[in-house]
């Protein structure tokens, strides 16, 4: 049942969907990972904010669904289901692994980038061929799946070019063409946005207004791509729309002519990932991390990788122990049946509180106590009825008492000088539990 305030919580049932955790939000809606109880699959469920539910918004919602319905393409995210539940629209999409924005937090090889560019251009060229502008092309709207497929999502701002094009300047400022920001979008505006996305993929830098050449990151771009690719991007990012490619199809045609040259240039200069440029050579970081995984991978459940340095991390770590990147909010998914909407780490169905971050409790939907061999600790509160703790819990999931135990790591006797928890100086540079630098780390 949906309450009048429509507060979305984990385990809440919205029609046939059971909410698991929040994936993100924009200015108009939030997106949740949800379980379709009829089909038995997980989906990305888009739920608009209550204050956005005006008549105009509902009309735009219907238009988005209709536009999306006419775009059948392997690189355009399809709508699985759309319905209005007690006055609130719900849209279900296939659930991807992450977004291109997530992927851009770590290094990307030229081969990988070229594959993504191929698919992005395929998607937008098809949409333009159907007289549809996207108007909000950005890494956050490019969904990645396990088979390396990229799919373009969120046609909420899309326009159908049947009549004179007019818009309100909508779109994400960082990727919006200047004329679109002034309310005059065209196919060339999408070309500009594509240019920015591709420039960032190859250079690691997002150019900003006034887009004067040489743009930031140009030296890195020159090291990874031939002059022809740089010229293609320069034309795509012209401030004067008339000087750009007329649409995504024209850009795609030009790109296909030099695609092979981009890959050959990459191979010839041997720039990029060490594993790709010289597969037979192992740097010391790779050897060290493999040894770490053999010794401590199962103990720490290091099933995830840092988005910045690609180092192995566990769901419970709040800092990458290799590079120090902040992991307060976990972004790698979980094997548990639900996740905390604050820190996005996994939770058992019978836990009253998130043991990984401090905050309000949750409604418990099951009375059946969970059984797990990982319950090896005990809560220190005399008032706590259940007491059982997983390793590395910060708070008791039953009573929210702060855990006093200083968790260790396997057979290591080393402890952080800041928080007192176990660390591995032979491998780590930072404490994954409090982010303090580790003295004497190797």
Query: What domains does the chain contain, in order, with CATH numbers?
Result: 13-94 (3.30.200.20), 98-269 (1.10.510.10)
Cα 100 to the center of its chain, rounded Å: 7
Report which DSSP code applies to 319.
B
Nearest-angstrom CA–CA distance, 332 and 344: 9
Q: How many CB atoms lie within 10 A of CB 291?
A: 12
> Secondary structure of 114-156 in the HEC alphabet?
HHHHHHHHHHHHHHHHCCEECCCCCHHHEEECCCCCEEECCCC
> What predicted TM-score, i.e. pTM, was given to this entire model?
0.63
Q: Which long-range contacts (CB under 8 A, 24 or more apart) does 398-401 make?
A: 398/351, 398/352, 398/353, 399/352, 399/353, 400/352, 400/353, 400/358, 400/361
Token couple for 50 = 């209550």
Q: How many CB atoms lie within 10 A of CB 27?
A: 9
Alpha helices in 225-340 (DSSP H): 227-236, 248-269, 274-277, 284-300
Per-residue pLDDT tens listing for the chain (442 residues)? 333 345 687 888 999 999 998 887 777 788 999 999 999 999 999 988 877 788 887 887 888 888 888 899 999 999 999 998 888 889 999 999 889 998 998 888 888 999 999 999 999 999 999 999 999 999 999 999 987 899 999 886 555 543 333 344 444 468 999 999 899 999 999 999 999 999 999 999 999 988 999 999 999 999 999 999 999 999 999 999 999 999 999 999 999 999 999 988 876 664 444 444 444 445 677 788 889 999 999 999 998 888 788 889 999 999 999 999 999 988 767 778 778 878 888 888 889 999 999 988 887 767 788 888 899 999 999 999 999 999 999 999 999 999 999 999 999 999 999 999 999 999 999 999 999 999 765 5
Q: Walk across the sheet containing 41-48 and list its strands.
A: 13-14, 17-25, 29-36, 41-48, 88-94, 81-85
Token couple for 248 = 């995504």
């Amino acid at each position: 049942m949906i309450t009048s305030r429509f507060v979305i919580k984990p385990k809440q049932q919205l029609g046939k969907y059971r909410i698991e955790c929040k994936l993100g939000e924009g200015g108009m809606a939030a997106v949740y990972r949800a379980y379709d109880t009829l089909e038995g699959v997980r989906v990305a469920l888009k739920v608009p904010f209550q204050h956005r539910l005006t008549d105009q918004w509902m009309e735009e919602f219907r238009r988005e669904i209709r536009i999306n319905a006419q775009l059948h393409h392997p690189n355009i995210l399809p709508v699985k289901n759309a319905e209005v539940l007690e006055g609130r629209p719900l849209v279900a999409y296939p659930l991807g692994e992450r977004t291109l924005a997530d992927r851009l937090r770590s290094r990307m090889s030229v081969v990988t980038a070229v594959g993504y560019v191929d698919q992005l251009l395929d998607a937008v060229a098809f949409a333009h061929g159907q007289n549809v502008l996207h108007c909000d092309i950005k890494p956050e709207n490019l969904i990645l799946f396990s088979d390396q497929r990229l799919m373009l999502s969120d046609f909420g701002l899309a326009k159908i070019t049947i009549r004179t094009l007019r818009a309100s300047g909508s779109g994400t400022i960082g990727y919006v063409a200047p004329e679109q920001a002034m309310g005059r979008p065209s196919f060339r505006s999408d070309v500009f946005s594509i240019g920015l996305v591709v420039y960032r993929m190859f250079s690691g830098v997002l150019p900003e207004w006034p887009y004067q050449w040489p743009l930031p990151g140009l030296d890195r771009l020159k090291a990874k791509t031939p002059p022809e690719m740089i010229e293609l991007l320069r034309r795509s990012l012209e401030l004067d729309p008339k000087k750009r490619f007329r649409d995504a199809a024209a850009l795609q045609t030009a790109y296909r002519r030099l695609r092979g040259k981009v890959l050959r240039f990459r191979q010839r200069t041997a720039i990029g990932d060490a594993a790709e440029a010289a597969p037979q050579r192992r740097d010391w970081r790779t050897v060290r991390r493999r040894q770490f995984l053999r010794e401590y991978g199962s103990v720490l459940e290091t099933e995830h990788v840092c988005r910045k340095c690609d180092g192995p991390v566990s769901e419970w770590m709040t800092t990458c122990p290799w590079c120090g990147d902040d992991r307060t909010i976990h972004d790698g998914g979980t094997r548990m049946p639900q996740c905390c909407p604050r820190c996005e780490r996994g939770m058992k169905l019978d836990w009253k509180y998130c043991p990984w971050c401090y905050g309000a409790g949750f409604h418990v939907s099951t009375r059946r106590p969970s059984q797990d061999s990982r319950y090896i600790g005990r809560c220190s509160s005399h008032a706590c009825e259940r007491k059982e703790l997983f390793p590395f819990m910060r708070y008791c999931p039953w009573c929210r008492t702060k855990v006093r135990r200083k968790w260790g790591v396997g057979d290591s006797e080393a402890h952080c000088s800041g928080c007192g928890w176990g660390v591995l100086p032979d491998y780590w540079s930072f404490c994954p539990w409090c982010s303090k630098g580790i003295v004497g780390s190797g």
